[in-house]
């Protein structure tokens, strides 16, 4: 096989050589190295060796390792994200609890305020009632006393009027019956 | 050759950088001879070990720089496989990742001046593409049986058109490995050859007056092409991988 | 010798002609990218999921340019 390819290549080289001669300067190794069949088995053999080596290196060592690294990283990222998610949930929870506590405290405060207000109101009402009662008692007493005073005053006026009338009648020289004078005065006062 | 019409001294050997040579001595190249292709594939393997095995030995949850690059590559290809082929396709992930790593490291190592770009050789990309093609075909038949042939029978098309479409589909199915391999090899080869052609213009300043204008331009062009090549090196690895995924999807879900 | 010279001439002309194909591929790639951009600006939310399709489209369009480049290279070096 090597012989025939060598011959063929030789022929090619010869032809090319003629052409190159005709062209003047001769590239001694005319022809494309790519088409030099002699080197094909060599290249193919070493290529196959190289490819097999690369395939074994990559598929046995490198690719599983890189895949593992990437998977690890993906896992780490997923875990971190999950942890962050959890922490965030916790924070939300804490905020909710805080808000709840705030609401509770406010309600408590409101309740206390309301209670205090109610108590004060009760005291106030009691005090007011007491004061009212006292005032009413005092008012009643005062009214009684005023009535008494008024009654006293009216009697005095009647006595004074009777005395004055008896004196006037006396002065006029008329002997007046005390009973008559008193009746007349009482009648006038009533009128 | 292309030197005609140029100064006598300019030499254009844009394809010499792709030559396969034995590492030791000058003998014939047998299939087992260690060559510069062996060397650069070995360096690619060492880089892969360095990045994906040594770089990740810390297994740190908070990655070091190298480890995060390794994880980035893993995630990039993993997502690509999952997006295109679905969950079932993930069993091909190590295979697809092997292809991606080999291609991306070979492409980038090939950008080192003096390096051999192993992926610029049809022999290499052809094997890669044929491996994908055979995987897809064999797995497709194992998983779906004869239903795999429904891939070529476009049910959404009107009936009279279907045989024509089937012919086109069959042809395009068998052209896949060709375009799949030549796209990668051609891209890598083209950029490097163009850089080499520009580089050949660079010493013109030593030979003739016109070089004062040409040499800076050629150096500028080399820089620009190099930047483009860095982009292409990654995009071609990406494209090769995603096309692999697309073909695998056909094997997993053949009906349109 | 005459024939060899003519053959060399034809080789170089053919290689140059093959490079025209790259222009077509450039137009194709530009078309794909431009239309993707137009669509992406119209509906930016859907753009992110379609970048893979964009690259596949670009790859298919570009592959044909690479084929023409390959033909040029074959003409130059291998024929």
**A42-63: average pLDDT:** 93
Does residue C71 sit at the A interface (CB-CB below 8 Å)? Answer: no
Q: Spell out which residues of chain B touch residue A24, defining contact as CB-CB under 8 Å.
A: 1, 3-4
Cα separation of A8 and A14, whole Å? 10
CB contact under 8 A, C69 and B238: no
Chain A closest CA to B151's CA: distance in Å?
A: 29
Closest CA to B52 of B83, B84, B94: B94
pLDDT attached to residue B6? 44
pLDDT attached to residue B11? 77
Please give the ipTM for the structure prediction. 0.87
The token duo for C31 is 């078309």
pLDDT attached to residue A191? 64
Give pLDDT tens digits for C7-40: 889 988 999 999 899 899 999 999 999 999 999 9
Does residue C19 sit at the A interface (CB-CB below 8 Å)? Answer: no
Q: CATH code at C15?
A: 1.20.20.10
Give pLDDT tens digits for A65-112: 999 999 999 999 999 999 999 999 999 999 999 999 999 999 999 999
CB contact under 8 A, A46 and B49: no
E strand map for chain B? none
The token duo for B134 is 């055979």
Place of tokens 């049809």: B122
pLDDT attached to residue A140? 93
Domain span at residue C63 reads: 2-78
CB contact under 8 A, C11 and A19: yes
CB contact under 8 A, B246 and C56: yes
**Do residues B107 and B117 touch, judged by C-beta distance below 8 A?**
yes
% helix, strand, coil for chain B, step of 5: 75, 0, 25
Give me the residue spans of the domains in chain A: 140-190
Banded pLDDT at B77 (limits 50, 70, 90): very high
- As a whole number, the mean pLDDT across chain B is 88
Chain C closest CA to A44's CA: distance in Å?
A: 21
Query: What is the total count of domains within chain C?
Result: 1
Asked whether residue B198 carries a pLDDT value surpassing 80, the answer given is yes
pLDDT attached to residue B3? 41
Taking each helix axis as running N to C, give the angle between helix B122-144 and helix A40-56, from 0 to 180 degrees, rounded to the nearest 10: 60
CB contact under 8 A, C66 and B183: yes
Residue B7 main-chain phi, psi, to 5 deg: -65, 155
């Amino acid at each position: 096989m090597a012989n025939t390819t060598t011959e063929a290549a030789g022929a090619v080289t010869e032809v090319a050589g003629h052409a190159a001669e005709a062209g003047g300067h001769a590239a001694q190794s005319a022809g494309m190295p790519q088409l030099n069949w002699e080197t094909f088995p060599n290249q193919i053999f070493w290529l196959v060796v190289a490819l097999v080596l690369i395939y074994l290196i990559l598929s046995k060592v490198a690719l599983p390792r890189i895949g593992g690294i990437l998977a690890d990283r993906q896992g780490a990222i997923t875990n971190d994200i999950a942890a962050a998610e959890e922490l965030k949930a916790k924070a939300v929870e804490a905020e909710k609890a805080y808000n709840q506590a705030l609401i509770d405290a406010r309600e408590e405060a409101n309740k206390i305020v309301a209670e205090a207000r109610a108590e004060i109101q009760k005291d106030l009402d009691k005090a007011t009632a007491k004061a009212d009662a006292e005032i009413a008692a005092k008012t009643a007493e005062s009214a009684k006393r005023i009535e008494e005073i008024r009654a006293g005053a009216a009697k005095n006026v009647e006595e004074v009027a009777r005395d004055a009338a008896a004196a006037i009648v006396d002065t006029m020289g008329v002997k007046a019956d005390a009973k008559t004078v008193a009746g007349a005065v009482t009648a006038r006062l009533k009128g | 050759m292309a030197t005609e019409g140029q100064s006598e001294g300019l030499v254009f050997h844009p394809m010499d950088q792709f030559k396969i040579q034995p590492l030791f001595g000058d003998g014939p190249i047998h299939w087992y001879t260690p060559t510069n292709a062996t060397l650069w594939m070995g360096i690619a393997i060492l880089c892969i070990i360095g990045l994906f095995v040594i770089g990740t030995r810390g297994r740190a949850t908070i990655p070091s720089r190298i480890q995060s690059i390794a994880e980035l590559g893993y995630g990039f290809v993993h997502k690509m496989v999952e997006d295109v082929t679905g969950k079932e396709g993930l069993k091909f992930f190590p295979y697809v990742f092997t292809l991606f790593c080999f291609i991306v490291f070979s492409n980038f190592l090939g950008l080192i001046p003096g390096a051999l770009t192993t992926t610029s050789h049809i022999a290499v990309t052809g094997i890669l593409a044929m491996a994908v093609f055979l995987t897809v075909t064999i797995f497709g038949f194992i998983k779906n049986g004869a239903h795999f042939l429904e891939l070529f029978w476009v049910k959404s098309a009107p009936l009279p058109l279907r045989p024509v479409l089937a012919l086109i589909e069959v042809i395009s199915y068998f052209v896949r490995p060709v375009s799949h391999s030549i796209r990668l090899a051609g891209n890598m080869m083209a950029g490097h050859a163009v850089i080499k052609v520009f580089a050949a213009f660079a010493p013109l300043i030593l030979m003739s007056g016109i070089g004062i204008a040409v040499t800076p331009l050629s150096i500028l062009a080399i820089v620009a092409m190099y930047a483009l090549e860095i982009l292409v090196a990654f995009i071609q690895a990406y494209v090769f991988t995603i096309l692999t995924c697309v073909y695998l999807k056909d094997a997993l879900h053949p009906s349109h | 010798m005459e024939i060899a010279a003519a053959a060399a001439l034809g080789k170089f002309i053919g290689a140059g002609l093959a490079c025209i194909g790259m222009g077509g591929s450039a137009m194709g790639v530009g078309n794909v990218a431009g239309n993707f951009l137009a669509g992406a600006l119209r509906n930016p939310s859907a753009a992110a999921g379609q970048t893979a399709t964009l690259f596949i489209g670009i790859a298919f369009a570009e592959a044909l340019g690479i084929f023409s480049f390959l033909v040029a290279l074959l003409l130059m070096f291998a024929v």
